[in-house]
Amino acid sequence: MDMSMPPAGLKSALFSDLGVSDQSRIQSLMEDIFRHAEDRVNPLDDRVSCLSQALYLMYLARARKASSIAEIGFSIGYSSIAFLESSPQAKVTSFEIHTETSVKSAKEFIDSRYPDRHQLIYGDSTQTVPAFQIPGPMDGFDLIFIDGGHEYSCAKADITNARRLAKPGATLVVDSLTPWFKWGIGPTTAWEEAVRDEIVTPLEYVSDALAVSRIQGPAERAWAVGQYR
Ligand SMILES: C[S@@+](CC[C@H](N)C(=O)[O-])C[C@H]1O[C@@H](n2cnc3c(N)ncnc32)[C@H](O)[C@@H]1O
């Protein structure tokens, strides 16, 4: 894993507090959890967040004052670290289908560093998210990050089902809006439909760590931020 490149030019209209010490702290935590979770017998199937995305998620959660955060797609915990580092009050609930050793090792790492602040729900999000109980509308999540199954049906179900778990006006981030890659077609279509159907209001598009007016290639990574309506 090459994390030696700094996230040059990370820019957003939604926050401004970028710090060099944050960058080295998050990078070092990502390296630590990677070493803890690395499993060469069963290597990862999916891509994981890069440093600039992790920093973006951390600053976004902080700027939106999100203390209750959900993510679909835990993998080895990079985005969980980003959210847990956004504030000492932040609590994260992750939904993850895989139960491999790497996922369990990453969970162990998170629990030792952030005791009682992380919950991991195993299973297919198309079933576990609808089954997840929140006590009341004001107990829902402030921020939801969708980065699980990339097939259209899964991304569509995740955006739709997670809305029930969101507080009114909660922030939504949908990853992989890269329709020039095969794995980006499903999330991009699902996002565009959510905007068209007025489920979400777009706030920002990010392409290779830069805020842009719309998603367009080429970019290695691109995601969208919005607000549930
Ligand atoms: C791109 S990775 C997540 C990366 C992570 N958010 C990060 O920032 O590094 C996608 C994860 O979603 C999980 N996943 C795929 N389909 C899923 C589903 N239907 N339900 C829950 N998790 C799923 C995969 O096992 C994988 O760990």
Condensed to tens digits (0 to 9), the pLDDT of residues 138-152 reads 889 999 999 999 999
Atom of ligand 1 nearest to the CA of 103: 27
37-56: pLDDT as tens digits:
998 878 877 888 999 999 99
Residue with tokens 């995740």: 158
Q: Which domain holds residue 126?
A: 20-228
Q: Specify the higher pLDDT residue, 84 or 5.
A: 84
Q: Is residue 7 in a domain?
A: no
Within 6 Å (CB) of ligand 1, which residues are found? 46-49, 71-75, 78-79, 95-98, 124-126, 147-149, 154
| Residue 214 pLDDT | 92
Confidence of residue 87 (pLDDT cuts 50, 70, 90): very high
For residue 64, the one-letter residue type is R
How many domains would you assign to the chain? 1
Q: Is residue 3 in a domain?
A: no
106: CATH: 3.40.50.150
Residue range 85-101: average pLDDT?
A: 97
Buried b (16+ CB within 10 A) or exposed e, 114-148: beebbebbeeebbebbeebebeeeeebbbbbbbbb
Q: Is residue 120 in a domain?
A: yes
Residue 226 β-bridge partners = 172, 202
For residue 6, the one-letter residue type is P
How much distance in Å is there from the Cα of 79 to the middle of ligand 1?
Answer: 11
Q: Is residue 12 in a domain?
A: no
Q: Is residue 10 in a domain?
A: no
Hey, whose CA ends up nearest to atom 16 of ligand 1? 149
